[in-house]
Structure 1
Amino acid sequence: MTAAPNVHGTAIVIGTTGLLFLGPSGAGKSAIALHCIEEARSRGLFAALVSDDQVLVSNAGGRLVARAPASIAGLAEVRGAGIVSVETIEAAVLQRAIRLVEPPFAERLAPEGETVEILPGRPLPLTRLPLFAGCTAFSTLVAIHPEILAA
């Protein structure tokens, strides 16, 4: 059996929607993902961390499944504060990748139907999540994808 590839990102689940936050080190993936979890919970939705920083992604029955490496399961790094324990779930089916983008934005509008290849031949729909003063990541994500609240 081949080991699941390790993807640099943070995976969470909101309701039944698995989200994979992507971006370079220091981009804010962990902070935004943890914020989205707390905001979702404050709205009465189930939300949990799957894995922070390293995400093991496997193809199971045509679906991309995220898991945490055993060494970091249940942990998240809060930059500048340290490693914290976070409520997690063992696995989640990924439905969407989220790429954090900061101003100035190179493009006014993201390309329609944009995807990112997570495993060879296995893309996920990609959402660019703009980060700017005065907005909350979760509210912006829900404005772009209201179906997350229905999950």
Structure 2
Amino acid sequence: MSAQTVHANCLVVGTHGILVRGRSGSGKSELTDLLIEAAGVKGNLGVLVADDRVYLSSLDGQLLARAPETISGLMEVRGRGVVKTLSMAAAKIDLLVDLKPESAIERHPDSALGCEKMDGVPVPVCTCPENRPLESMRLIRWSLRELFPGVPDYI
């Protein structure tokens, strides 16, 4: 099992592992923090796995994510610095959130979810606008509802 490093964040809300990918300054950490907080407000698990860099590997047809040891339990809060936070060692990824410029996102796409192979594992993709965390959280909630019908909303 070899790991590849990606520029992304990873978190768990409820029972769902989410990988948040985007360019520098696209709002990955802000969205991650908001999702963790939203899960907690609803009385659900919301916890960081990794901020900024994530090791990905596949095992038995599942995509797994973990933090590099040097940044485990740390999150950047822009304007404040790097802070310690509750974290998990690893997570199975259920959804890739791809942050893109709003101009690159279709208003009415043919399919709400895309799919991307990561380390040979197909992963559902939800495309969200950069630096629009509330709008992104709404899109993520609807994506999770589509992927896991009948499962409670964790955010």
Residue correspondence of structure 1 range 55-134 to structure 2 within 5 A: 55-112=54-111, 113-119=113-119, 121-130=120-129
Q: Tell me the distance in 2 between the aligned counterparts of 1:42 and 1:99.
A: 24
SS of match in other structure, 1:89:
coil
Unaligned runs of 5+ in 1: none
Q: Tell me the distance in 2 between the aligned counterparts of 1:116 and 1:109.
A: 20
- Report what 1:149 is aligned to: 152
Q: How many residues align?
A: 149
RMSD: 2.3
Q: After alignment, is 22-31 or 110-119 more displaced? A: 110-119
| Cα contact 2:27–2:131 (8 A) shared by 1 | no
Q: Tell me the distance in 1 between the aligned counterparts of 2:67 and 2:28.
A: 15
Q: Tell me the distance in 2 between the aligned counterparts of 1:48 and 1:40.
A: 9
% identical aligned pairs: 32
SS of match in other structure, 1:41:
helix
Give the alignment's TM-score, normalised by structure 2.
0.84
SS of match in other structure, 1:104:
helix
- Report what 2:5 is aligned to: 6
| Cα contact 2:105–2:127 (8 A) shared by 1 | no
Q: Hey, which bits of structure 1, 4+ residues long, moved more than 4 A?
A: 131-134
1:7-44 per-position Cα deviation (integer Å, ceiling 9, x unaligned):
11000001110000011111000110111000110011
Give the alignment's TM-score, normalised by structure 1.
0.86
Which letter maps to 1:107?
E
Alpha carbons of 1:73 and 1:39: their partners in 2 closer, same or farther (altered >3 Å)? same
| Cα contact 2:50–2:66 (8 A) shared by 1 | yes
